[in-house]
Each structure stands twice: as C-alpha cells, then as structure tokens.
Amino acid sequence: MKLLGISGLDGSVSFKKAQWPGLDEREYRISQGHDSAAALIVDGVCVAAAAEERFSRKKHTGDFPSGAIQYCLSEAGLEIGDVDEIAHGFDYAPYSKVFSLDPITAELYRNVFSPESLAGHVRQRFPAFPPEHIHSVQHHLAHAASAFCTSGWDDCLVVVIDGMGEAHSASIYHAKDNKLQKLHHISANDSIGILYSLVTLHLGFDFNSDEYKIMGLAPYGNPARFRSFFDHAVVLEPNGSIQSRSYE
C-alpha cells in the first residue's frame, strides 16, 4: 500500500484577502490551512516527507503541496500513478450545512474547504489520478493516527491539542488493535491553542507562526505577574475539560 498524505488549504488566505482587503499580513494569518506539506507512506513506513515552503520559498504557505509531493515521489522512485490513496488532513463535509447559512462562508466552503475543492486541486496537477481514491480525514483523527501508528504501541491513550481542527481544539482517543475510538473532545470555542496565538499576536508577533518565540521568551518572564488573568481566561473543569474565556 502506497499512501500519500497531504496538508494545507489552498486558497484560504487569498479568499480572506479578497473578502476583506486592507488588513495587514499579520491579520491574514488568522486563517486555516497554513504550512502545507506531503508525506509518502509505503507499506506502513514513512519514506519521505517535506513542507511545501521548501520548494515554493513562501514561508508558511498553505498552497497545494505540488513541490512537496514531487519531492516525496522522487525520493521513493515512484510516480503519482503508483500511489494507491491520497489522504488530506481536513474534513469539513460534516459541517457543510453550517457553512451554507451565510453567503460568505458558503463560498469559503465551496472554494476552499470542500472535498470537491480538494479533488479539483489534485485533478489540476495530476489529471489521471482517480478521484474515488482521494480521502478527506478529520483533522484531529489525522493527528492521532500519525502519533499512534508510528508509536510502536498496541494500546494507548492519544491526546490531540492544537488551535483547532474543523470544529474542535482538543480530542482524546483510545487507540487499540489499530483503531482509534474518540472518548472526548473540546470545542474550538474553548481553545487554549487559540488563546496562545492571541497572546502571541498581542505581543506583536505573528499568529499561527511565532508561538515558539513566546515559548522561548517565557522562562525570562515573571509567571506571577499575569497569573490572575490566565486564571480567569482558562477554567479547568472538575471533569478534566477546559473552558476558555479568552473572547470576553
């Protein structure tokens, strides 16, 4: 089995620029699907992986990862026709009705988020690849699978926490017998990842980019100075869940 995994949402930033011109570049980074990449798995082994920015020279690009795909195929001595399946790490189809409630979000779904948009990008670059072998995978499920399937463990707990996937900011799975069973999730409305990025933006750095710089600066700060703010912004529930008040 030869599986090509891809990430990124081509057109996400350009759509925002078309709808809301005049924002600065830092504001346009508040969008989904940056850092597009590709990874090639052959018989369960990752034989090549690369970020698209290495080939396009566009930092954090979310463009369809054509260059990364070609690199992975070249490294493995394969062509696109040798690939059995393509998997993409977002699946917005279950939320299509929600996007349809507003004209702008309906256009965003149709042109950027939909499986049909993904299939169109694949068809444009690789016309002969069969569309029935293109799969949209839930974002957190893709994260969980990449961790579990390379862990070497047969039975474990998998915790995914990021800014947000399609609608969730954290997901917990029980991984056993090569299957992932979701146990719990936290809404994107309560995302501590987004709070992290908002603090990054507030400090003059780039959202969805410079969070690691804030992590590097943190040891030099005084944790007590803003403790009351974060105690209010993030509430740890008795059941182990999280409530974020970062939008208040």
60 is a catalytic site residue: no
**Residue 230 is inside which H or E element, if any?**
helix 227-233
Measuring CA to CA, which residue among 195, 207, 198, 206 is closest to residue 244? 195
218 CB contacts (<8 Å, ≥6 apart)? none
**Cα gap 38→7, rounded to integer Å:** 7
**Cα gap 185→64, rounded to integer Å:** 29
Sign of CA dihedral 229, 232, 234, 236: positive
Query: Catalytic: which of 34, 88, 139, 143?
Result: 34
**Cα gap 26→60, rounded to integer Å:** 12
133 CB contacts (<8 Å, ≥6 apart)? 84, 85, 86
CB 233 within 8 A of CB 245: yes
Q: Could you list the active site residues? A: 34
